[in-house]
Every structure is written in C-alpha cells, then in structure tokens.
Amino acid sequence: MAIGFGYLLSLLSLVTTYLLSKGKSIKRKYIYFGIMVMTVLAPFLSFAIGLTYARIVENGWAALIIWYLFPLFFLLGLILLLVGTFKKQVE
C-alpha cells in the first residue's frame, strides 16, 4: 500500500506540474519542475523505489537505497531550478 502511494503521489505531482506549466516559457517550466522534483518527487519516489527493491531482493536492509536515491533526485531538482533561474530569456 505504501509503495503504491509513493508512486501515485509522484505521478500526480508530475501531471499537476505539467498542467501548471503548460503555456509558460521554458525558463518557467525548468523552475516549476525543479521545485517539484526537490519537494515532492525526491522523497516519495525514492521511498517507493527503495521499498520495491527491498521487496524484490527480499531483504529489508536493501530499502536503505533510499539514502542514495533521495540526494540524487534532490540534486537533479536543484540543477533544474538553477538552470531555470539563470537561463537567458529568448524572445
């Protein structure tokens, strides 16, 4: 149940961010997706992937992969946010 909740929330946040950024400039889209990845996608998706992996290998300690995935996703979101912040506006 918790695994499905993590995947569902990640998917809903992707759809919501896409709908919010529709019609905006590419700079604004980078900012929206960067914030979404850092705040919603990083914790919930890393949690869901970690629990899924732990269930596949049948070892509870394997869920500690969450500690590697969360910073990876967070840095990805931070990079997207910084690209959107410092990108030149093309008109």
The pLDDT confidence band at residue 91, using thresholds 50, 70 and 90, is low
Q: Is 25 left (phi over 0), alpha (psi -120 to 50) or beta?
A: beta
Q: Is the pLDDT of residue 24 over 70?
A: yes
Per-residue model confidence (pLDDT) at position 28: 92
pTM of the model: 0.87
Q: How far apart are CA 61 and CA 53, in angstroms?
A: 10
- Give the pLDDT confidence of 53-81 residue by residue, as tens digits: 999 999 989 889 999 999 999 999 999 99
Q: How far apart are CA 41 and CA 50, in angstroms?
A: 13
Q: How far apart are CA 81 and CA 6, in angstroms?
A: 23
